[in-house]
Structure 1
Amino acid sequence: MDLDRVRADTPAAARRAFLHNAGSALMPVPVVRAVQQHLELEAEIGGYAAADAQALPLETVYRQVATLLGAAPEEIALTENATVAWQMGFYALAQDFRPGDRILTAQAEYAANYVAFLQAAKRTGAVIEVVPSDGAGELDVAALEQMIDDRVRLIAVTWVPTNGGLTNPAWAIGRVARAHGIPYLLDACQAVGQMPVDVEALGCDLLSATGRKFLRGPRGTGFLYVRKALLDRLEPPMIDHFAAPWVGRDKYRLRDDARRFETWENNYAAKLGLGAAVSYALGIGLGPIMARCRLLAERLRDGLREVRGVTLCDLGRSPGAIVSFTVADVPAEELVARAAEAGIVIGVSPPASTLLDAEARSLPPLVRASPHYYNTEDEVDRLVELCRSLPAA
């Protein structure tokens, strides 16, 4: 990896230590340029004409995302965010739930997903069951296997939860789901852009992700992968005439690709920015990206372990690039503010974002630092030294 070039493509990295990539990462110059150029084109010739002029690059985005995931372009839908992507997949499945049907999920499941489970349970009589975690804090795959019966209609898991550093065993979960013919919905928001993703190896039937986090794309972008074998059996919970052309007075016909989960109107500039972000990540390589992310995250954890008053709150056998911790007598919000004054950008993970995990571990609001490959060792060390300078240390 040419770190000098990467940082030159990230001008703000010279002005601040940006360690908030699990929230919304800094876009590289090629991504910003792709968005700006299309907006300028729209300003010059109008949105419709600009979309027509860029039809080929816009179509290419589907192939870029498919390459990133090891999927086929017809299995990709581009959405305005990861939540919409996840919801379109989940509610398409949930339409067929019946009383007593079981949804299996993880203890560290994300709030946006869990409230959707609750709504579906309220509407349909389905039940939500949490698979126990093992001693390392990961979803216990053996326990999952024991919970399988003919009433399990969905396994839905967040691969890399929003806090705790955890990386759930997504591949092992996929093997169980596929062996029993159970649909498997994987939330990969914090994984895509941080590590290699291969949907065939994962064994997932649906996967959702965002552009704005470790992928370094624009806000307002997301995508949904739907395995072709499942696609033909799913009707989106909402459709328009793009997803399902009106072919007769009393008839519509769903598209035969994953774009049945899209709508006609979308942000073309952001879509091109997403394509540029995917291309940029693929150009560097997801293997080197993961290696550097984990190197920096471990350096941060090792440094924080040596600071009196700091408690690391990470889980799992192989934690990713999300480092969660507390500092004694210093509220998370106060530490984030002090870091900002020192030119360090970090964030807060509130208990409500992963309520079950927070209750099980009695977690307060956590400080969340998430280094990425464009960060330097010095930037990580600056955060450690800031924590060392606090009264609690």
Structure 2
Amino acid sequence: MAGPDEQALRRETPGTRNVIHFNNAGASLPIQEVLDVQREYLEAEALYGGYEVVTQFSEQLQRPYDTLASLLNCAPANIAILQSATSAWAQVFYGIPLTAGDRILTSIIEYGANYIAFLQMAKRVGVAIEVIPEDDEGDISLPALEVLITQGDKKPALIAITHVPTNSGRVYDAAGVGRLAQAHGVPYLLDACQSVGQLPLDVQAIGCDWLSGTSRKYLRGPRGVGFLYASDSAMEKFEPAMLDLYGATWTATDQYEMQPGARRYEIYEKNFAGMVGLGVAVDYANQLGMDWIWARIQAIARELRGKLARIPGVTVHDRGRLLCGIVSFTKEGVDPGVIMARLCEQGINVKTSAISSTRLDFERVHLPPFVVRASVHYFNTADEIEQLVLALTAVGDCSSKAREVM
């Protein structure tokens, strides 16, 4: 596949010298420049004072707004930087004035933290949670969604879906959902935590009112940083769940005025060094090009799925019209936690995904309580895939031999 030099990409990623990293859906390996700029910022804070260096690094602190705006096709004023993707998502969700009988439409693959928030509001005020079915190919069913939108006397208060689940590789048709949301005037919140950084995202084409994402996963930025896209129309209609003296100004004894753009969603105290690192990470992705990144990740994931499927006893669980870099699997007779531990002993990072993270999906397809998740990135190689396959095969062989001895 034509594109940037593979070895150059790996030289710029120091972690590749220590581990084979297939946990990019958890936290990816940053490039050296991301590490360097964070160290520089933290050292300046220690030498000159935390408040004081904000002015000194004003250009670097503006960089994530500009680079994310370029990545998502919006204006920098539509971007907010927060402590995490969950913080960003919650600033939107809990800011919507939900009341008894309001309907929330969500997805089968909805992330556990989001669904708990729905349940909390169901308990607090009596909202109804309605799950949009999937079609036969494993994508979100747009005809079923339109039926849900139009049925009943009250249109939904919110459509809130996850773009890519934490436990498998399928990618929902977020733009199709957006077309229906806009046509019927329903607010639309998209959790892009696992999709941003691995596939092209255009918020204008998607048609979402809000999009939440994280730095640490496929964008390869620091931990402790998340972000939010908020459309102009959404900001006109809804306030953030929480405002502080950064998101708003106390203008009179009984009045306040919010920031004019998406920074109204921000809280002043955040990971400033992480913000600087995020700006570098997103700029790096923009320079590589999301079309190239997406094609490369898909090719590596296809190769991994194909080789895993040929291992006796291994079942690959990814299903969908469009699949991404998250590859989920189990091996008959071998606990997923044991697989993760044995691979870790050989310097191979994978993760297990639990039923509590995506309960509706696990229960619908009768998955075991845990699956193994190997999430690839563009810096992974064919040799690394081969080492994973050999190590996984050995885990099964060792387990079989142990049972025979017993």
- The TM-score by the shorter chain falls in which range? over 0.9
1:37 to 16, 24, 40: 40
2:65 to 62, 71, 76: 62
Q: Does residue 260 of the first structure (1) align with residue 264 of the second (2)?
A: yes
- The secondary structure found in structure 1 opposite 2:358 is helix
- Following TM superposition, by how much is the alpha carbon of 1:56 offset from its aligned partner in structure 2, in angstroms? 2.1
Residues 329-352 of structure 1: per-residue CA shift (max 9 Å, x gap):
110000001101111110000111
Q: Does residue 100 of the first structure (1) align with residue 101 of the second (2)?
A: yes
Q: Please give the alpha-carbon distance, in whole angstroms, between the structure 2 residues aligned to 1:136 and 1:269.
A: 43
2:298 to 287, 294, 301: 294
- Following TM superposition, by how much is the alpha carbon of 1:387 offset from its aligned partner in structure 2, in angstroms? 2.0
Q: 320-329 or 61-70, which moves further after superposition?
A: 61-70
User: In the alignment, what sits opposite 1:111?
Assistant: 112
1:10 to 3, 9, 13: 13
Q: Please give the alpha-carbon distance, in whole angstroms, between the structure 1 residues aligned to 2:237 and 2:261.
A: 12
Residues 215-258 of structure 1: per-residue CA shift (max 9 Å, x gap):
00000010011101111221112111111111112211111111
User: In the alignment, what sits opposite 1:335?
Assistant: 339
User: In the alignment, what sits opposite 2:92?
Assistant: 89
Q: Please give the alpha-carbon distance, in whole angstroms, between the structure 1 residues aligned to 2:236 and 2:156.
A: 21
2:361 to 357, 361, 366: 357
Mapped contact 2:63–2:276 kept (Cα < 8 A): no
- Following TM superposition, by how much is the alpha carbon of 1:120 offset from its aligned partner in structure 2, in angstroms? 1.4
- Following TM superposition, by how much is the alpha carbon of 1:14 offset from its aligned partner in structure 2, in angstroms? 2.2
Amino acid at match of 1:128: I
Q: Provide TM-score, normalisation by structure 1.
A: 0.97
User: In the alignment, what sits opposite 1:127?
Assistant: 128
User: In the alignment, what sits opposite 2:403?
Assistant: none
2:203 to 199, 203, 207: 199
Q: For 1:316-331, what aligned pairs fall within 5 Å after superposition?
A: 316-331=320-335
Q: Does residue 370 of the first structure (1) align with residue 375 of the second (2)?
A: yes
Mapped contact 1:163–1:349 kept (Cα < 8 A): yes
- Following TM superposition, by how much is the alpha carbon of 1:205 offset from its aligned partner in structure 2, in angstroms? 0.5
- Following TM superposition, by how much is the alpha carbon of 1:44 offset from its aligned partner in structure 2, in angstroms? 1.1
**Any unmatched runs of 5+ in structure 2?**
401-406
Q: Please give the alpha-carbon distance, in whole angstroms, between the structure 1 residues aligned to 2:13 and 2:124.
A: 47
Give the direction of change, closer, same or farther, for the CA distance of 1:124–1:151 in structure 2 (3 Å limit). Answer: farther
Q: For 1:78-227, what aligned pairs fall within 5 Å after superposition?
A: 78-93=81-96, 96-149=97-150, 150-227=154-231
Amino acid at match of 1:114: Y
- Following TM superposition, by how much is the alpha carbon of 1:61 offset from its aligned partner in structure 2, in angstroms? 2.0
Q: Please give the alpha-carbon distance, in whole angstroms, between the structure 1 residues aligned to 2:94 and 2:69.
A: 23
Mapped contact 1:100–1:151 kept (Cα < 8 A): no
- The secondary structure found in structure 1 opposite 2:208 is coil
Mapped contact 1:311–1:326 kept (Cα < 8 A): yes
- Following TM superposition, by how much is the alpha carbon of 1:16 offset from its aligned partner in structure 2, in angstroms? 1.7
Structure 1 stretches (4+) deviating beyond 3 angstroms?
A: none
Mapped contact 2:318–2:327 kept (Cα < 8 A): yes
**Any unmatched runs of 5+ in structure 1?**
none
Q: Does residue 274 of the first structure (1) align with residue 275 of the second (2)?
A: no
Mapped contact 1:232–1:256 kept (Cα < 8 A): no
Residues 159-189 of structure 1: per-residue CA shift (max 9 Å, x gap):
0110121101111111111111111100000
Q: Please give the alpha-carbon distance, in whole angstroms, between the structure 2 residues aligned to 1:237 and 1:11.
A: 39
Mapped contact 1:19–1:370 kept (Cα < 8 A): yes
- The secondary structure found in structure 2 opposite 1:302 is helix
Q: Does residue 72 of the first structure (1) align with residue 99 of the second (2)?
A: no
Aligned residues: 391
Mapped contact 1:371–1:380 kept (Cα < 8 A): no
RMSD: 1.1
Q: Please give the alpha-carbon distance, in whole angstroms, between the structure 2 residues aligned to 1:14 and 1:264.
A: 37
User: In the alignment, what sits opposite 1:344?
Assistant: 348
Q: Provide TM-score, normalisation by structure 2.
A: 0.94
Identity score, percent: 45
- The secondary structure found in structure 1 opposite 2:248 is coil
Amino acid at match of 1:102: R
